[in-house]
Amino acid sequence: MVVAARLYHAALEQVAHLTQSMAQHGLSVRVLIQSPCYHPDLVALTQVAVCQFEQGMRGAALELEFHGLQGVHDVEPVQMALVFPSKQKQQSKYWIAKAWQRLEVGGVLLLCCENQYGAKSYDDFLALLSGNARSSSKSKTRLVVAMRTEENLADEASNALLQRSLDEGEMQQVTDGFCSQPGLFSWDRIDVGSAMLMACLPSSLAGVGLDLCCGYGVLSRWVASHCAAVEKLYLLDVDQRALACAEKNMAKFELPIAYLWLDAAVEALPTGVDFVVCNPPFHSGQSRDVQLGQTIVARACQHLKKGGLLYLVANRQLPYEQIVKRYCPSFEVVKQASGFKVIKGVVE
């Protein structure tokens, strides 16, 4: 979610204000909230409106759940939608388009985004979609409001833009026969690091494997296609959309596969696995977070059985060796090229 806390509050205040005035006219208000993080005002909102929270990222979803904010599903049509864009343009426009589609006539979409993450482009996008968007700026953040009307509902250019945004942001076939979706890591081509890792993986991998931080399943597909002695695979990621694509990409394999929507940094992981393959994340939201990668690498080692194999790839400058060494004293860097390194460890 790319929005400063202060504007988050302002956006929710606006939603609450609109909701209350609709409720005063005897209307029960249905609100869709796309990609929210927990905020106390959300609790207040659920008391005056029927809310649907769309959150595919595990950490934020757990926090909402912790505060009793599960919301209801498939609320349709909605009178209001509040969208917090992601850092990826196509994905954000897809979210806006999906929300726009679900608004009834007279319904309002609010978008809240920091300027540095492309607020102006979403403002322009909503202007084209609605013909009536209004925006206000404060503290380097923009709040855009647009209304669904009979006019924009019948407008050809608006409908063409809506359809294009839906098509472009949808789960789709990309190169190498993968099913993927904008917003996922290296969504439309295999990452150079992941390709290097696959070139280093032995086809002798066997037993139970964990594709830790699996994305849309690039590494798992390699393992399932090349390693005949693999008996079971766990695919784990924090992003529900990545797992949905991974499931499609692995559907043709008869191997037992479990898809785990988990935060690998904090939640319980499968134990006693024979091997882990991993291209660890080093970003939390917008910011670089080396510690996240280090935590995940340590947890990968902790969940391998004695003698279990770790194969990971990382940007060359990322400091994972000290962590791996703790669990796999005789680890080796099996390849270094193009700014990446592949590390192999055997847990002792």
Ligand X SMILES: C[S@@+](CC[C@H](N)C(=O)[O-])C[C@H]1O[C@@H](n2cnc3c(N)ncnc32)[C@H](O)[C@@H]1O
Contact in structure between 166 and 94 (CB atoms under 8 Å): yes
Q: Give the gyration radius of the chain's Cα atoms.
A: 22
Write down the least CB distance from residue 248 to ligand X, Å.
15
- How many residues are recorded in the chain? 348
Taking the least distance from each CB to ligand X, the nearer of 111 and 184 is 184
Taking the least distance from each CB to ligand X, the nearer of 155 and 247 is 247
Site membership for ligand X, residue 185 (CB under 6 A): yes
> In a 3-state reduction of DSSP, which class is residue 141?
strand
Q: Which residue is nearest to ligand X (CB)?
A: 215
Site membership for ligand X, residue 54 (CB under 6 A): no
Amino acid, single-letter form, for residue 122 = Y
Site membership for ligand X, residue 279 (CB under 6 A): yes
CA pair distance 11, 220, nearest whole angstrom? 41
Taking the least distance from each CB to ligand X, the nearer of 215 and 308 is 215
> In a 3-state reduction of DSSP, which class is residue 189?
coil
> In a 3-state reduction of DSSP, which class is residue 23?
helix
Taking the least distance from each CB to ligand X, the nearer of 115 and 295 is 295
Taking the least distance from each CB to ligand X, the nearer of 69 and 262 is 262
Residue count at the site for ligand X (CB under 6 A)?
18
Q: Which DSSP string do the residues of 207-264 spell out, in sequence order?
A: EEEEEET-TTTHHHHHHHHH-TTEEEEEEEESBHHHHHHHHHHHTT--S-EEEEE--T
Write down the least CB distance from residue 111 to ligand X, Å.
23
Contacts (CB under 6 A) with ligand X, residues 195-254: 213-215, 218-219, 237-239, 242
- Which positions lie near ligand X, rule CB under 6 A? 185-186, 191, 194, 213-215, 218-219, 237-239, 242, 263-265, 279, 281
